[in-house]
A = this chain, B = another copy of it.
Amino acid sequence: MRKDDYNKRKRLGMKVTKPTIKNIARAAGVSTATVSRALAYKNNLKPATAKRIRQIAQEMGYHKNVAASQLASNMTNTIAVIINYTQTDFWIGILNGILHRARELNHQVITFYAGDNDSRRLTQTVNEALEHQANGILMISGKMEQEQVEILSTAHMPYRLISIYNPEHPEHRYVSSNNVEIGEQATNYLIKRGHRRIGLVGIDHYLTGQQRLFGYQRAMTAAGLPINPHWIHYGDYSYQDGKKLFSAIQDGSVTAVVAGSNMIGAGLLKAATQAGWRLPEQLSIISIDGSDTCELTTPELTTVSQDFYQMGITSVDNLLQDQPSTFIPTTLIERDSVQPLPTEK
């Protein structure tokens, strides 16, 4: 039966054969097994038969029922991605990388959005993801809670935490950049350019923020510089918080800041410019989390950049090949937002 016929018959209220392998088998005068083989391009049947069957399937408007197929074969070739934080935009690059690589490896991606660090919904979402019998779960998150990780790890399903890690729990595997090194790298860059009073703006109170803070402290200490608690300001990595937090450093207490994220940096830049400041003369900014596209969002910003797209790629490979936790390297992209200062004596 032709596709056109299908519509016509349906319109006329005529009975129509649902396109299933059973009906294809009947139409082709073969068994369902043969149809199944033909449609799966197995090589153990006569090419002519295979071709004829596929032709008929096409004409009947057949589309495989994935649910049935998965149930019977006990294979899903699916990766579940949980997105748990969209305040800052790094998830986009990661998801993009995941989608690309998954497709290369013939895997489906099923995406779950779990709200912004909403613990209850995250728990629920992790459970939903588990119901899909995926090959594994990739979790792009801003903060981790014990409860969710526990669900994941007791579920007997491979998973990776993306862009977040907990050194105290090495058993929870991750693909991330090294936040301590990032904090250190950014701070050292400013120190080398002569800055001594350096702020850290927009980090959070959880793992990621504290790791970056630790790196910052390590760099300052190694350089023999004092740290004033009033130089540290907390936020949620968002553009809005970046704009708000400018007021916290408006007193001129620091000559340079490490911005906790690309977005925080952009917000600071915007607020400072609006306040009539000339940058980088009055304030040097280096941001963390810059991605490939950060030239667009903040062309002027020197940044410790992570290749999030690559992180997505690596995550998929790491998950499917059962590799150990790994750090994604970071690069420093210099632009004109950092002012070299004469070294003080």
A residues touching B (Cβ–Cβ < 8 Å)?
Answer: 3, 6-7, 61, 63-68, 70-71, 76, 83, 86, 89, 92, 96, 99-100, 103, 108-113, 127-128, 130-133, 154-156, 239, 263, 266, 270, 293, 295-297, 299
Q: Are A154 and B296 in contact (CB under 8 A)?
A: no
- In the assembled complex, the Cα of A249 lies from the Cα of B223 at a distance in Å of 50
B61 touches A155 (CB 8 A): yes
CB-CB under 8 A for A76 and B67, given A3-B154, A99-B113: yes
A110 in complex: contacting residue of B108, B239, B297, CB < 8 Å:
B108
7 A-B pairs in the complex with CB atoms less than 8 angstroms apart:
A61-B155, A63-B127, A64-B131, A67-B71, A99-B113, A108-B112, A239-B295
A263 to B3, CA, bound (A): 42
Contacts of A7 in B (CB 8 A): 154
- Asked if B297 contacts A270 (CB within 8 A), the reply is no
Residues of B within 8 A of A86 (CB): 96
Please tell me how many copies of the chain the complex holds.
2
**Across the interface, which residues of B come within 8 angstroms of A155, CB to CB?**
61, 63
Residue of A3, A89, A110 with most chain B CB atoms under a 10 A cut-off: A110
Residues of B within 8 A of A133 (CB): 65-67
CA distance A266 to B83 in the complex (A): 28
B residues in contact with A111, CB < 8 Å: 99, 109-111
A63, B296: Cβ atoms closer than 8 Å: no
Residues of chain B within 8 A (CB-CB) of A132 are 66
B-side contacts of A113, CB under 8 Å: 96, 99-100, 103, 109
> Contacts A3-B154, A270-B299; is A131 near B76 (CB within 8 Å)?
no
Min C-beta distance of A76 to chain B, whole Å = 7
Closest chain B residue, CB of each to CB of A269? B299
In the assembled complex, the Cα of A111 lies from the Cα of B63 at a distance in Å of 18
Residue of A61, A110, A270, A296 with most partner-chain B CB within 10 A: A296
Q: Given A86-B96, A99-B113, A111-B99 in contact, is the A131-B296 Cβ separation under 8 Å?
A: no
Indicate if the CB atoms of B61 and A156 lie closer than 8 Å: yes
In the complex, A112→B78 CA distance in Å?
12
Task: Give chain B residues whose Cβ lies under 8 Å from the Cβ of A156.
Answer: 6, 61
